[in-house]
């Protein structure tokens, strides 16, 4: 039986959680089976991430992921999702202009079942955010480390360490909020900056390598399970190690985020 609309997670639900100081839990999902498992464990946001290019397709970056790939995986998740908010990445070059962004986002919503679309960047994408918001399409911003901008493996570095870069991230975060974004992902920045941005914004801030004081946390599912290829980032914890099942690992992650135990100092900058 499908749950009632009152049981569904919406942007308003997340706003209420932020105001109440309740941590928001997010994980990536790329298929129906894991969408069900994550929802059952209490995950509030299913992020259909273009990280699938690396963990599913075997690429060394997210750039080869196409709009069609994102629509396919988003639709797989949407068919199974009953409660969580579905956020879908807009892939590289799918939002190069406001017009392209609107056409791409409409496909992600209409064909992929996206409830919010996520795009990377600050000032360069403000017009895109305004256009999508005006069209009634929910937007999630993404600041800090921007994977679509990384051209080589050594480009994955902590952002916002010096005062000028930190100030630019804070300014971009506020500008995205004012342009209409209802959610922000903040990736790979010092924990102090993550806390500062989270306090400054009305909208929820979901951290990944941004410290425990963000309003919520997200990880790539394959990183959480310890099965991602290549070097594991500092902000990742293998929750499957020492546990008996994938379900137990996911529930442990949910508990640790809710209780403020993850990320710890060892997963922070």
Domain assignment of residue 93, yes or no: yes
User: Can you list the residues of the chain whose pLDDT is less than 70?
Assistant: 1-6, 152-154
Residues 33-63 have pLDDT tens digits of 999 999 999 999 999 999 999 999 999 999 9
| Predicted pLDDT at 230 | 80
What residues make up the domain containing 160? 24-263
Closest by CA to 254, choosing from 228, 219, 230, 226, is 219
Domain assignment of residue 137, yes or no: yes
| Predicted pLDDT at 154 | 65
CB atoms within 10 A of CB 227: 12
Q: Of these residues, 187, 196, 247, 266, which one is catalytic? A: 187
Which domain CATH number covers 217?
Answer: 3.20.20.60
Q: Retrieve residue 62's tokens.
A: 């997210």
Concerning whether 99 is annotated as a catalytic residue, the answer is no
Domain assignment of residue 17, yes or no: no
| Predicted pLDDT at 151 | 73
| Predicted pLDDT at 225 | 97
Domain count, the chain: 1
| Predicted pLDDT at 1 | 29
Domain assignment of residue 170, yes or no: yes
Domain assignment of residue 15, yes or no: no
């Amino acid at each position: 039986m499908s749950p009632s609309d009152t049981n569904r997670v919406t942007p308003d639900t997340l706003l209420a959680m932020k105001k109440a100081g309740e941590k928001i839990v997010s994980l990536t999902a790329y298929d129906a089976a894991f969408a069900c498992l994550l929802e059952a464990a209490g995950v509030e946001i299913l992020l259909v991430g273009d990280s699938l290019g690396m963990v599913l397709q075997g690429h060394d970056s997210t750039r080869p992921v196409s709009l069609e790939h994102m629509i396919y995986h988003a639709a797989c998740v949407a068919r199974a999702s009953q409660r969580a908010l579905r956020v879908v990445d807009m892939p590289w070059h799918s939002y190069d202009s406001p017009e392209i962004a609107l056409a791409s986002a409409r496909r992600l919503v209409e064909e992929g079942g996206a409830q919010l679309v996520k795009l990377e960047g600050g000032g360069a994408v403000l017009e895109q955010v305004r256009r999508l918001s005006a069209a009634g399409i929910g937007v999630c911003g993404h600041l800090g480390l921007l994977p679509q901008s990384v051209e080589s493996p050594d480009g994955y570095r902590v952002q916002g360490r010096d005062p000028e870069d930190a100030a630019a991230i804070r300014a971009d975060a506020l500008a995205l909020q004012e342009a209409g974004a209802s959610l922000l992902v903040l990736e790979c920045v010092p924990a102090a900056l993550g806390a500062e941005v989270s306090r400054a914004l009305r909208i929820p801030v979901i951290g990944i390598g941004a410290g425990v004081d963000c309003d919520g946390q997200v990880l790539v599912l394959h990183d959480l399970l310890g099965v991602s290829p290549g070097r594991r980032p500092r902000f990742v914890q293998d929750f499957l190690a020492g546990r008996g099942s994938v379900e137990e690992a996911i529930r442990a992650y949910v508990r640790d985020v809710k209780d403020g135990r993850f990320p710890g100092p060892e997963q922070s900058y």
